[in-house]
Amino acid sequence: MSQKVNLNAYFERIGFAGSIAPTLATLEAIHALHPAAIPFENIDPLMGRPVLLDQASLEQKLLHKGRGGYCFEHNTLLMNVLRDLDFTVRAHAARMLWGHPEGGAPIISHMVLLVDIAGGSYLCDVGSSRFMLTAPLRLRDGVEQQVGKELYRLSKTAEGWRLEVKVDDDWRGVFQFDLVEQSESDIAALNSAVEAEYFNRGQLHAARAEGDVRSRLSGNRLSIYRPGEEPERRYAGDVDALKAMLVEVFRITLPLALDLLDPALQRVIDTAPPAPDA
């Protein structure tokens, strides 16, 4: 179903002022600006709030309220924007491989986009906390593609496609996806399952990609990666410190429902492993 898109509000939020022609250059510009301006975060499901994917709710949260979101929110917003700009875009479900045993995560928990331009297809994903792409990747088997300091490749498999990242001398799986296009109702069902998983496990994640700097929060552990430097690591020992990280590093305007937010963040603190120097 077509949903009205406020392009001006989106462009203002990400700082885009270029050509809106449906070209690779336009896609690359938007794909770079989006993750720098709109952070990844999963505060709402952590608090037990529903994650809404209709365009009006996405715009209110991600464009007007200074919030971020997770993959289904980011990539649904991007999909709707690109379609409004006359790009051909398809949504696909992905199974995370990174951090999981061989075979991947037990549930399909990620959403990615394929965009067709001038006879070629490009993988787009502005909603990942671990490997946040800042450029689309050409859907070509075995071709190495540099994005920032990371080297990626897409490999064709019997099930579809597999995204890998090079770590030292090894290629490691990030996620895998097939070419079955997901409908709006398919995405809604996947979103509901992931929303419940985040709440049940009490997991907090946030990420932002600005230029070559990557900031990532997992639980109460903050890591900031800058080119040519050792990663900066910090640990939040209480709810106030965790809020400060979310506001100062990820520039998230926190929800006002402190009766939900503070207990949710306290659960993150309570279940976090001890800091190395503790």
**Candidate from 112-116, 212-216, 243-247 with smallest mean pLDDT:** 212-216
Nearest CA among 102, 157, 117 for reference residue 30:
117
Which class would CATH give 199-271?
A: alpha beta
Tens-place pLDDT, residues 177-196: 999 999 999 999 999 999 98
Residues noted as catalytic: 71, 110, 125
Tens-place pLDDT, residues 99-117: 766 765 557 889 999 999 9
H or E stretch including 216? strand 213-218
> What is the greatest pairwise CA distance in the chain?
55
Q: Domain limits of the chain? A: 199-271
Q: Give every strand in the sheet of 137-138, ordered side by side.
A: 137-138, 120-124, 110-117, 88-96, 170-177, 161-167, 150-156, 144-147
Q: What is the pTM of this model?
A: 0.94
Residue 137 tokens, joined: 């990747």
Name the percent of the chain lying above pLDDT 70. Answer: 96
**Could you give the CA distance from residue 123 to residue 92 in angstroms, rounded to a whole number?**
10
Half-sphere exposure for 28 (CA within 13 Å, toward CB):
7
